[in-house]
Amino acid sequence: MSEKIDWAYTEIVKDHFLNPRNYIMGDEENFKADGEGIVGNPICGDQMLVKIKVKDGKISDIGWKTYGCASAIASTSALSELAKGRTLSDAEKISAEEICDFLGGLPKQKFHCSVLGHQALKKAIENYKSKITEKKS
């Protein structure tokens, strides 16, 4: 007797979890970033690293690593797709809601996963901007 267990996520979430975009494979030191941000949530144990390359004021490339659940991985993958090619100011405006909408929704108890991704991106952009300010000084 086998019971079918339903997948609690949309097909888009499933796709981004199983086929993550812009994931840094192997050693992240090989991804020469202009800025990077890392955030974590001690309550759920998820941690996200986002690295960006910037050219002409836009995110020309983005890479990431996430240690967490399917929602965290899918959310960071979606974030990377949303951010690539955007200006820094537009990328900073990516919200958790936008990530969640892009994925077709997340279970209510997993929404916090999308919050972490955009926080890591904001930290990466802040890190990039601080380096530019230091160079000008």
Active-site residues, by number, are 44, 113
Q: How many whole angstroms separate alpha carbon 20 and alpha carbon 121? A: 17
Q: Are strands 58-67 and 47-55 parallel, antiparallel or unpaired?
A: antiparallel
Task: Kindly give, in sequence order, each residue whose CB lies less than 8 Å from that of residue 85, ignoring residues fewer than 6 positions away.
Answer: 58, 59, 60
Residues 63, 88 contacting (CB under 8 angstroms):
no
The overall longest dimension of the chain from CA atoms, in Å, is: 70
